[in-house]
């Protein structure tokens, strides 16, 4: 038996750090959307247990039990004899949920093969794998609170044409959190009445922030150049970092604008990872070449 699942890039359109719990976990208020680009996870029985990592972004990705796809498989299906193939297209340690998205995709694929083993609410168990895993398992646009476990779906979120850019430098999430100057920032407030209108959503998002951005720039100064390059492209409504970085994004009024910006940025900086994407729900499941 074989099952496949798409692991879309997770984009924090906004990310407000609103507090810190006694156990050290940070409280967030974030708008999360998913891209139509990502990794692919294939789970197959009858081939012996193990993990293989392939794809253009496979270099440096662990192919052992430390990988989150193995951790989630062993946590929920400890007796399952399965081989997991992880086809990597997204850069690692880049603020777009690559490892968490892969774990979530593995969870969905395993659930297809062994549906009874994961029937109950498993949010707390998913959080043990990673704070982003519950939202990635959902795979739907949402306002995310708590430490990542509170999901308020945004069913009618507009599709947002975007460019994703990563300078090729991994970022340590713990280091960025440690460098935060303030851990009790204001929440986002009330969302727009119409989240289906791209222009109004982009305008509202442009007035939000990522509270981790400056701390990440202190760790990786190249992030500032990425943001400036994106902002300089024609039609860019705003540019922002996703998660703890270093991937940044720009939002555009139409797909043609975003595609043109992606071509421009790729030509100007061939050493960067540049990708056109549509943010919202990852229905198209478009693969990177």
CA 272/CA 57 separation, integer angstroms: 13
CA 268/CA 60 separation, integer angstroms: 26
132 as an active site residue: the answer is: yes
How big is the chain by its Cα radius of gyration, in Å? 18
CA 243 to chain centre: 8
Name every residue whose Cβ is closer than 8 Å to that of residue 190 and which is 6 or more positions away in sequence: none
Catalytic residue among 10, 36, 88, 211: 10
CA 27/CA 19 separation, integer angstroms: 5
Q: Is the peptide bond before 96 cis (omega within 30 degrees of 0)?
A: no
Catalytic residue among 36, 132, 211, 257: 132
Residue 8 φ then ψ, to 5°:
-70, 150
112 as an active site residue: the answer is: no
Contact present, 228 and 265 (Cβ < 8 Å): no
Phi-psi region of 101 (alpha: psi -120 to 50; beta: other; left: phi over 0): alpha
For tokens 């699942």, the residue is: 5
CA 68/CA 104 separation, integer angstroms: 9
3-class DSSP state of 78: coil
CA 86/CA 145 separation, integer angstroms: 29
Structure tokens at 202: 């982009």
How many Cβ atoms are within 10 Å of 232's Cβ, its own excluded? Answer: 14
Active-site positions? 10, 132
């Amino acid at each position: 038996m074989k099952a496949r699942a798409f692991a879309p890039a997770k984009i924090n359109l906004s990310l407000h750090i609103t507090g810190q719990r006694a156990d050290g976990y940070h409280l967030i208020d974030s708008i999360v959307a998913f891209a139509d680009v990502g990794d692919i996870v294939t789970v197959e029985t009858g081939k012996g247990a193990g993990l293989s990592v392939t794809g253009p972004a496979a270099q440096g990705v662990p192919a052992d039990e430390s990988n989150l796809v193995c951790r989630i498989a062993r946590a929920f299906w400890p007796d399952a004899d399965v081989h997991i193939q992880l086809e990597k297209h997204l850069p690692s340690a880049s603020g777009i949920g690559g490892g968490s998205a892969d774990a979530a995709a593995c969870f969905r694929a395993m659930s297809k093969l062994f549906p009874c083993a994961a029937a109950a609410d498993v949010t707390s168990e998913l959080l043990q794998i990673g704070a982003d895993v519950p939202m990635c398992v959902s795979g739907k646009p949402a306002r995310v609170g708590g430490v990542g476990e509170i999901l308020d779906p945004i069913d009618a979120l507009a599709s947002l044409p975007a460019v994703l850019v990563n300078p090729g430098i991994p970022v340590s999430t713990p280091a960025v959190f440690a460098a935060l100057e303030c851990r009790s920032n204001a929440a986002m407030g009330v969302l727009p009445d119409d989240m289906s209108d791209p222009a109004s959503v982009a305008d509202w998002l442009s007035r939000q922030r990522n509270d981790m951005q400056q701390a990440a720039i202190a760790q990786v100064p190249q992030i500032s150049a990425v943001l400036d390059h994106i902002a300089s492209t024609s039609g860019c409504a705003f540019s922002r970092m996703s998660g703890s970085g270093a991937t940044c994004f720009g939002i555009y009024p139409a797909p043609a604008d975003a595609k043109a910006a992606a071509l421009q940025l790729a030509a100007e900086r061939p050493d960067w990872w540049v990708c056109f994407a549509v943010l919202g729900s990852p229905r198209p499941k478009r693969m990177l070449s």
